[in-house]
Every structure is written in structure tokens, then in C-alpha cells.
Structure 1
Amino acid sequence: MEVQQEQELEVKLAKKGNHEAFIKLIKPLELQMYNIAKAILRHDEDCADAMQEAILKAYKSLSSLRHAFFFKTWLFRILINECNTILRKKSQFVPLLSLDESKHVTTNPEVNIDLREAVYRLEEVSRTIVILHYFRDLPLRQIAEMLDLKEGAVKTRLHRARLTLSEWLANHREREVNV
């Protein structure tokens, strides 16, 4: 309870322009922020950019935080949005081969799909949910809070993402066998 009261005090001070209070809020969360950014972006320089931008946006919009208790969730939501913005800007995702494309698929390692690559080809919200749940071991309730979704919606998206991944990977294995 004491930690919660301290956080509320730091948020109040930070909202009034106290830079040190804001730093005290951010400092203990930096490693978690990095781990989330790394799971989504994979490149250290992109992680640093996302973290820096998220911290800056959080500082500038601190007045929009209604309840100090949700500071961590609010900050992580900003970070996830920044990570997804970086991914969109990079446009680094190559679409998977469709079923009606050529049946000739090489066994070249560059073409082989691993699970992580398949996850990165999911649509944005599903990709984020899968990464946070399976790569970061976050509970569905916390993910729902971060993404401002109902827990049932998170479960549904996670289920659909698993089905999609299973189908993609099965089709990929089938193509490799038919080569």
C-alpha cells in the first residue's frame, strides 16, 4: 500500500512539473519497457527510439492520466503504440506466400518461416497480444488493460492468432514436403 501511495504522490508532483518525480516513476520501469520493446521490435536501436519517444509522450501528456494507480499500464500502452508506429514506418514485413502462388518453394533457409517470423506477420493488435502473452508472459487481464480492450476480446484475438499461425505453419511445412 505504501508503494502505491508513493506512486500517487510522484504522479501528482510530476503533473505539477517536477522532473525528478517523473524520473522516479520511469526509472524502475525501464527494464520492463526495454523487454517489451525488444519483444516487439527486435533491434536495440529501435527499442531505444521507442522508449525515448514513449517517455517523452508520457511526460507531455501526463495531465491526461486520470488515476495515478494506472501509471505503469498507461506508460506501457504508449510504448506499445510507439513500437507499432516504428514497425509501420519500417514496413519490414513481407507477406506470406498465398495458397494460389507457385507451389515451387525452395528449401533455402531465407524462405523458411519460423514461429517468431510468423508472429511478426500477424496484424498489429493480434501480434502485440501474442508477443506480450507468450514472449513476455503477461497475463491476459494486464494485456487487456494495456490495450484498452475487454479481456474476452483479448482471448478471442489470441485464439484467432493461434489458429492463423497454426494454418500458416502447416501450409509452410506442406510446401516444404512437396518440394
Structure 2
Amino acid sequence: MTTSPPGAELQQQRETALIAAILSGEREKFHDLIRPYERQVYHTALALLKNETEAEDVAQEAILRAYRKLASFRGDARFSTWLLAITLNEARTCLRAEKRASLDSLDSTDYGDGVVTPAQLTDWRELPSEALEREEVRSLMQQAIAELPVTFREVVILRDMEELSVNETAEALGISISLVKVRLHRARLLLQKALAPRLRVAWKPEKKRGVIRRLPWF
């Protein structure tokens, strides 16, 4: 059993009340529900896709889909976990579409043309000042994570970037807890192998059996 962090129950109660109000017709309250997670959704999409425009499209589509599917949210997981699962699915769809387009050599000059999105989301690119420190190290980390296979990249994003628990990561990805642990272990080994020669001087991993536990990310 996992214990909820302080304030988590109050947050969950607030979200439950908002969801009930939205489903009863107060649609404008959806923006109150989604606002705390706007940046998280965008940054998750960006970390997976490595393209700002595509990340914006995916984030907007994920939030729109969450609105449409809100009645199916049963509260078994946290709302944020459910929302991230939708974001990951949208990002995967985008990656598959890119792969098909690349294979077929399609010229999609009208991609996204005329798309009408819901209310404009805010603060996606507003990064805290400390995130701008050690830019070189951060850039190396981003590059290394971008080169991971998608299944490993997803686990690293959720566990080390978004700091979800193992249980929440498993829920978001729709896989077992043991598989999350295996993928995360392998992903961190791959990251260490790729980064160790370059980060030996620039940055030292957290001293916990030499495993990279926290990443200099957004």
C-alpha cells in the first residue's frame, strides 16, 4: 500500500467535486481541473516527441480527449495519472504517424492547417530560473533520453522527470509494476553508459549505488 502525500486527499476531493460539476453541465470548470497539469502534459509530450510544435498539438489533443472521455474516469488512479496515460497514447500515435509518413515519403504541407483547439493553455514554455543552470549537462541528458527506445524513454519520463511512483507509472503505461522496474533499471544503465564519459567532470550522479535518480530536467 502506498501512502498519499500531504494534501493529496484534499486535492483528490477537489478534483472529484470539479469532475462531478463538469459532468453535470458546468463545462467551464474543466479549465480549473486541467490548469495544474498543463505544463506537465506539455513537457511529457515534448520529452517523448522532441519537437515543440508536435508536443503542443499532442498536449492539446490529449486535453481535448480527456474532456471528451471525462465520464469514463472512475477514480481508480489519480486524475493526473489518467491524464498522463492519455498524453502518452497521443504521443505514441504521433510517433507512429511520423514513422508511416517517413516510410511513405508523404508531403504533409497541410498538417495541422485550420485546426481549432480548445482554450489556450498557459505557461508551457515558462521555465524556472534554476532549470537554465548547467545547460550543457541538461542538453546531454535530453539527447541521451531522446535516443532511448520509446518503451524505456516513457518510463524515465514518468519516474525521473514527472516523479510518479512505480505504481502510478505502471497505471499510466498499462503494464505491471515488475515490468516498470525492469525497464527503468535497463534505461538507467543505458543512460549511464551513454553519459558517464561526458558527465564525469560536468556532473556527478546522486550517490546511491551509482544510479541516476534525479535528472537535471525542466
**Superposition deviation, residue 59 in structure 1:** 1.0
Residue of structure 1 in register with 2:29 after alignment:
21
C-alpha contact (below 8 Å) 1:7/1:69 kept by paired residues? no
Among 160, 171, 178, the alignment partner of 1:145 is 171
Paired amino acid for 1:29: Y
Answer whether contact 1:39 1:131 (CA < 8 A) is retained: yes
Residues 7 and 90 (structure 1), Cα distance of their counterparts in 2 relative to 1, 3 Å cut: same
- Specify which of 154, 157, 161 is matched with residue 180 of structure 2: 154
Shift of 1:117: 4.7
1:53 aligns with 2:61: yes
Q: What SS does the corresponding residue of 1:66 show, helix, strand or coil?
A: coil
Where 1:127 maps in the other structure, the secondary structure is helix
Map of 2:94 onto structure 1: 86
For residues 102-117 of structure 1, what are the structure 2 equivalents within 5 Å?
116-117=142-143
Instruction: State the 1:48 CA deviation.
Output: 0.8
CA–CA distance in structure 2, aligned partners of residues 14 and 45 of structure 1: 29
5+ long unaligned stretches in structure 2: 1-8, 103-139, 196-218
TM-score of the two chains, using structure 1 as the length reference: 0.69
CA apart distance, 1:8: 0.7
Contact 2:48 2:154 in 1 (8 A): yes
Once residues 134 and 9 of structure 1 are traced to their aligned partners in structure 2, the CA distance between those partners, rounded to angstroms, is 30
Offset at residue 75 of structure 1 (A): 0.8
The one-letter code matched in structure 2 to 1:67 is G
TM-score by structure 2 length? 0.58
Change (3 A) 1:115 1:32: closer
Count of residues paired in the alignment: 150
Tell me how far 1:85 sits from its aligned partner.
Answer: 1.5
Give aligned-pair identity as a percent: 37
**Once structures 1 and 2 are overlaid, which stretch shifts more, 145-154 or 52-61?**
145-154
